[in-house]
Amino acid sequence: MAVLGTDAAPILGIVNGKGAEVSLCDCPLYPGDMQNLLHRLQAWIRQAGLPPYRVDQRQGELKFVLLTRSHFNGEYMLRFVLRSEQQLPRIRQFLPLLQADYPHISVVSVNIQPVHMAILEGQQEIFLTRNTQLSERLNGVPLYIRPKSFFQTNPVVAAQLYKTASQWAEESGAATLWDLYCGVGGFALHCARPETAVTGIEIEQEAIACAQRSARELGLSQATFMACDLTGFSTKQAEPPDLVIINPPRRGIGQDLCAQLMQAAPRNILYSSCNAETLAQDVSRMPGYRLARVQLFDMFPHTSHYEVLVKLTRQQTPYGRDA
């Protein structure tokens, strides 16, 4: 939630098309308890005297409030994005008042984002609680969320997305799989079996730590999750996998990674995307594969955005050999 208004009258919401600042605390997409907490946060910001950051004036401190709710146990991770550490003492001072009203807030941190740009978070994260991660569980699979680790925004729809991917992976009979842009490991952990050799790749170390913990709890001894750049990753591997899972940012995977996948030539690719246009571009860059299955997921209700999962299968020549 962007923090708008003033320290005497803060607003958690957006600027609408007419330039008016509108609170989103009552958005019906949020569970009732989250709506209540957002209203309490607005009042708490006023109580603590935290000045919202004014983009037009380049003044103020509090830029965003990031709130994550566990569908599994109802606990919250609360993050304050500040321009500097100047207001950190006031957050520490008034935080017990908020926690007394909402003991389900189990993780609290402050992120420092000093740049005057449309960037949601900075590199520095300061934890104000002993607990540093939120527990989630989808389809019986334990998952963990830490600050700066990507997680699907809609847990109910995400559970169906992961379940569908698991079914498609089961059909492919893959003994080895790569999960690229793996995040906290949601796809790989759902698709893997104890005997499956899994390699998960993600640039963010926070997310990798979560995936590794989940793999240990599930007893996936052959699962390896690494924090590294995907550039040239596939060309460094001795053997291509049976299955590759991809869940990239909106920009897609691009020409270079498409070429690497064509060279690795896995039998099947599961590609999950929140941008069908870049997905279509990437699929067109891999002519050796045919579109076998497509499923749409309404991950972002009441918007024009959606998640789409596709299964790509390596084509065969007229002689029965792989292309």
Active site residue 274: yes
DSSP per-residue letters across 271-294:
EEES-HHHHHHHHHT-TTEEEEEE
Could you give phi then psi for residue 33, rounded to 5 degrees? -70, -30
Distance CA 251, CA 132 (A): 30
Decide: residue 236, CB within 10 A, 0-12 exposed, 13-18 middle, 19+ buried: exposed
Query: Residue type for 111, please?
Result: N
Q: Which residues of 32-52 are buried (b: 16+ CB within 10 A; e: fewer)?
A: eebbebbebbbebbeebebbb
CA nearest 275: which of 243, 245, 302, 310? 310
Angle 72-75-80 (CA atoms, 0-180°, nearest 5)? 130
**DSSP, res 235:** G
Distance CA 179, CA 167 (A): 16
Catalytic residue from among 25, 191, 258, 274: 274
Partner residues linked to 130 by β-bridges: none
Token representation of residue 15: 């600027």
Q: Are 12 and 42 in contact (CB under 8 A)?
A: yes
229 Cβ partners below 8 Å, 6+ apart? 203
Distance CA 310, CA 271 (A): 5
Distance CA 62, CA 277 (A): 35
Q: Are 60 and 19 in contact (CB under 8 A)?
A: no
Active site residue ranges: 274
